[in-house]
């Protein structure tokens, strides 16, 4: 199937993308060690550095997202911000603040033109060695970065996702390039350092020559070396985790030995590329792995557009479904007020789920099965749901118990009536698309059935709109 082919390209793209990063990283770490301790750049040293970084990445990925990966990422971010603020403070601060505004404006004004510039009238090798290299490198990172960020962003809205993944990192990148790049330009312009010559001589060494012209050079170069290591450890561990998930068929918690295998394999690929030809081999590997993914990304863009259009249909269907409107049976106003003000304990919430919700779902499921359709009910201590299957489509209506703080307006009414922390319980409805965040605690069985049928009717309306559209 084509899905397996996409997975294969994603695995190879991620593998070569992370290996390229790891290879470039050890070149820079070796340059830092040479500056700090006189350890000359050598392929044997670089292979040992790859082994060390791979070992750290393996330990991190074995620990999981909430332990190793998260803590290393927080350390990495802290070191990066500290080094950036240090350069801002000891560098030409006023010039950097002015340049930040001007650089942002220049970037935005030239974005379209530079995007389509291929130097057709001024042929040169630079576009192949760098523009196409970075293009392939970034695209090869797209499967694992997208999957990893999606996993840690579960429950976020698309707006929150775009702000957190596109706008915030882009803003940080503007600051980073402005502070480091313009400080280097200032050194070049005032003659205090020949940074252009340093970059042309050896890109990996240029950062440490740059820091060597600032105060506290030993400390800043040590932090920079550690920062490069943590950057590539966090890249390798998250890349290994995503490759592991892909090759496990989407299993969110694959076996530990499998994580170790992919982490070690990434290090081995980086070592082979370095031995095969250093920077040139790394660049070729990145471009080669990114090319097939570029075509796949175009299909992914179309898929995203289609999914968002379906989401629009679903939202429209939830607003109003024509036909039979199933309402809740009328409730006396005193009973309704009691339900609104009632703050149930865990025991009462569990009893409501067991004695009211579960029987209601089972009764509806039995009726659906009697009409020749498939319906299953799943009941646990804190949630219950019904799953109705329409060919390839599935409708899910569930009720989940959730503990929440008691609202401040209800504290007075609870005084003397409950002990322990000020917590109460809600019975929230959840559909296949996610939680609906409304509470049905206190409903009778007929009211639960009416709410279920209302959601089911909206779902059927959505299916009709989707098929017609």
Query: Tokens 């269907």 belong to which residue?
Result: 317
Q: What pLDDT score does 12 carry?
A: 82
In which element (H, E) is residue 268 found? helix 256-319
| CA triple 415-420-425, angle to 5 deg | 85
With 60 as the cut, is the pLDDT of residue 323 above it?
no
Q: Residue 187: name the closest of 165, 205, 166, 210 by CA.
A: 210
Residue 385 bridge partners (DSSP): 378, 398
What does the pLDDT look like over 431-465, one tens digit per residue? 887 767 788 888 889 989 999 998 898 888 777 77
What is the overall mean pLDDT for the chain? 82
CA distance linking residue 352 with residue 450, whole number of Å: 16
- In this predicted structure, the answer to whether residue 61 has a pLDDT above a threshold of 90 is no
What gap in Å lies between CA 197 and CA 124, rounded to an integer? 20
Distance CA 50, CA 274 (A): 10
* All residues at 6 or more sequence positions from 435 whose CB lies less than 8 Å from its CB, including other chains: 400, 428, 429
- Give the rounded distance of the alpha carbon of 80 from its chain centre: 20
User: Of 2-16, 120-134, 312-326, which gets the smallest average pLDDT?
Assistant: 312-326
pLDDT of residue 359: 95
Whether 83 has a pLDDT exceeding 90, the answer reads yes
**Of the candidates 49, 100, 79, 14, the residue with the CA atom closest to the CA atom of residue 204:** 49
Highest mean pLDDT pick, 218-222, 238-242, 278-282, 390-394: 218-222
Q: Tell me, what's the pLDDT at 324?
A: 42
Q: What is the pLDDT of residue 325?
A: 44
Mean of the pLDDT values across residues 283-296? 77
Q: Where are the domains of the chain?
A: 2-313, 333-468
Q: Quote the pLDDT of residue 243.
A: 85
Confidence (pLDDT) at 327 = 52
SS3 434: strand
Res 399: pLDDT: 94
> Of all helices (H) and strands (E), which one includes residue 102?
helix 93-115
Helices (H) and strands (E) in the chain, counts: 17, 5
Phi, psi of 402 (to 5 degrees): -135, 135
Q: Write down the pLDDT at residue 315.
A: 67
Which range, of 58-67, 92-101, 140-149, averages the lowest pLDDT? 58-67
Report pLDDT for 379.
Answer: 92
Q: Pick from 72-81, 146-155, 165-174, 360-369 the range whose average pLDDT is largest.
A: 360-369
Distance CA 398, CA 431 (A): 6
Long-range contacts of residues 435-441, Cβ cutoff 8 Å, at least 24 apart = 435/400, 440/357, 440/399, 441/339, 441/342, 441/344, 441/349, 441/352
| Rounded distance between C-alpha atoms, residue 237 and residue 214, angstroms | 33
* 96 — pLDDT class (breaks 50, 70, 90): very high
The pair phi, psi for residue 380, each rounded to 5°, is -125, -175
Cβ-based burial of 301 (10 A; exposed 0-12, middle 13-18, buried ≥19): exposed
Give CA–CA dist 113/117, Å, rounded: 6
Tell me the pLDDT tens digit for each residue of 290-301.
788 888 888 888
Please give the structure tokens belonging to residue 103: 């650089």
The two three-digit tokens of residue 71, written as one number: 């803590």
- The residues pairing with 383 across neighbouring beta strands, listed in sequence order, are 400
CA atoms within 13 A on the CB side of 161: 13
Q: How far is CA 453 from CA 283, 437, 442, in A?
A: 58, 18, 18
137 vs 361, more confident: 361
Mean pLDDT of 374-384: 91
Q: Return the higher-pLDDT residue of 329 and 450.
A: 450
Strands 383-390 and 393-405 turn out to be antiparallel
Tokens found for residue 96:
């950097």
Is residue 138 predicted with pLDDT exceeding 90? no
| Percent of the chain scoring above 70 in pLDDT | 88
Which among 225, 190, 191 has a CA at the least distance from the CA of 208?
A: 225
CB 238 within 8 A of CB 28: no
What pLDDT is recorded for position 161?
85
Among candidate residues 335, 448, 343, 450, the one with its CA nearest the CA of residue 399:
448
Find the helix packing angle between 43-63 and 256-319, rounded to 10°: 60
């Amino acid at each position: 199937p084509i899905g397996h082919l996409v997975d294969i390209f994603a695995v190879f793209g991620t593998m070569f993308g992370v290996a390229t990063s790891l290879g470039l990283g050890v070149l820079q770490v070796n340059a830092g060690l040479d500056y700090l301790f006189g350890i000359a750049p050598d392929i044997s040293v670089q292979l040992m550095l790859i082994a060390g970084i791979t070992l750290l990445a393996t330990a991190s990925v074995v620990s999981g997202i909430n332990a190793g990966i998260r803590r290393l990422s927080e350390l990495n971010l802290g070191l990066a911000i500290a080094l950036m603020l240090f350069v801002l403070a000891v560098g030409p601060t006023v010039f950097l603040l002015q340049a930040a505004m001007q650089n942002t404006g220049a970037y935005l004004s030239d974005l379209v033109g530079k995007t389509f510039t291929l130097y057709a009238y001024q042929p040169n090798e630079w576009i192949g060695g760098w523009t196409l290299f970075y293009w392939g490198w970034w695209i090869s990172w797209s499967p694992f970065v997208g999957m990893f960020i999606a996993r840690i962003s579960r429950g976020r809205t698309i707006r929150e996702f775009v702000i957190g993944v596109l706008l915030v990192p882009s803003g940080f990148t503007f600051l980073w390039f402005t502070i480091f790049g313009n400080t280097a330009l200032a050194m070049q312009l005032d003659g205090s350092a020949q940074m252009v010559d340093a970059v042309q001589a050896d890109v990996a060494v240029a950062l440490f020559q740059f820091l060597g012209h600032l105060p506290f050079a030993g400390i800043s170069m040590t932090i920079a070396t550690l920062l490069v290591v943590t950057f590539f450890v966090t890249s390798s561990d998250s890349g290994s985790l995503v490759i592991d998930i892909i090759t496990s068929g989407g299993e969110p918690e694959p076996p530990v030995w499998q994580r170790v295998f992919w982490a070690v394999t990434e290090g081995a690929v980086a070592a082979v590329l370095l031995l095969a030809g250093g920077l040139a081999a790394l660049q070729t590997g990145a471009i080669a792995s990114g090319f097939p993914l570029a075509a796949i990304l175009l299909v992914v863009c179309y898929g995203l557009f289609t999914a968002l259009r379906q989401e629009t249909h679903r939202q429209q269907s939830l607003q109003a479904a024509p036909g039979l409107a199933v309402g809740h049976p009328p409730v006396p106003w005193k009973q309704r007020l009691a339900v609104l003000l009632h703050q149930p304990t865990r025991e009462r919430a569990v009893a409501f789920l067991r004695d009211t919700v579960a029987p209601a779902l089972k009764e509806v499921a039995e009726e659906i099965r009697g009409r020749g359709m498939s319906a299953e009910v799943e009941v646990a201590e804190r949630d219950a749901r019904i799953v109705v299957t329409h060919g390839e489509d599935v409708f899910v209506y569930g009720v989940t118990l959730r503990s929440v703080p008691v609202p401040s307006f209800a504290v007075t009414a609870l005084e003397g009536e409950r002990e322990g922390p000020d917590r109460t319980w809600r019975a929230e409805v959840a559909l296949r698309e996610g939680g609906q965040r409304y509470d049905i605690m206190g409903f009778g069985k007929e009211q639960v059935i009416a709410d279920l049928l209302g959601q089911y009717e909206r779902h059927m309306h959505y299916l009709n709109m989707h098929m017609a559209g």
